[in-house]
Amino acid sequence: MWNYSEKVREHFLNPRNVGVMEDADAIGEVGNIQCGDSLKLYLKVRDGRIADVTFQTYGCASAIASSSALTELVKGKTLEEALKITNEDIAEYLGGLPEEKMHCSVMGWEALEKAIAHYRGEVDALEKEQEGEIVCKCFGVTDKTIERVVRDNHLTTVEQVTNYSKAGGGCKKCHAEIQKIIDRVRGVAPTGKAAPEARARMTNIQLIRLIQDTIEREIRPALQADGGDIELVDVLGSRVLVALRGTCTGCPSAGLTLKGMVESKLREFVDETISVEEVRE
């Protein structure tokens, strides 16, 4: 039995904005009934804003609740604002989703992206960008989809990929290939450290993103648990400049935190040559 929040139950039992929109300006359709979940999202756009939105979905309670929540989140927003909404935002709006049901929020996110691409006449370009080789034959999930959910949700295990995309949830024959994709996206060698060849190919922007992702995933949660926080200020070659926040500011142990935790994690997941320096403002 899934542990659903009250808000998930409420949106499942009383979903908002359900139905076909006959005069829709854009439609985004994702999923496959044969695989268990599908969603069709309809948008009406006025002056660059989503004036109305409805949906039809076939799926479980999480799929229905996620679709309902998505319509409430995007209504009244500009297309640019709507595109900034992530599957994590949908889950957060619902008070959380079971880890095994996160793929339902991803489905809503993908439907919105496709609907906006339809409105802008960019569907062909979007589909070409998302083309890839099928990795999970049971659910028809491509390597491009797996790469995206790993990158955007900071996933690190095959089980998480299954929860977010269904890939690997059937016969499990694709688990080894999924792990290879995870390692490639994260730039991780079999030893668990960043692969030198992957680092060499990274642009400065990619390096900054990897540093920021590592801070978000490996460092910030630990600091926030004690009332502290950290902010990435700049990256100058192998020098990473950060500012400590909250209870970390002026803490006598700040130096140990920077070297013993922050620098250690960045060296493990990004580059062994990184040095971390605190910027005092």
Determine the Cα–Cα distance for residues 85 and 188; give it in Å rounded to an integer. 28
* Cβ neighbour number for residue 241 with a 10 Å cutoff: 15
3-state class (DSSP) for residue 171: coil
What type of residue is 45?
V
Determine the Cα–Cα distance for residues 137 and 70; give it in Å rounded to an integer. 28
Determine the Cα–Cα distance for residues 198 and 195; give it in Å rounded to an integer. 5
To the query of whether residue 35 is one of the catalytic residues in this protein, the response is: yes
Distance, CA of 169 to chain centre: 19
Phi-psi region of 259 (alpha: psi -120 to 50; beta: other; left: phi over 0): alpha
To the query of whether residue 136 is one of the catalytic residues in this protein, the response is: no
Q: Which two tokens stand for residue 204?
A: 């400065």
Give the residue numbers annotated as catalytic, written as ranges.
Answer: 35, 104
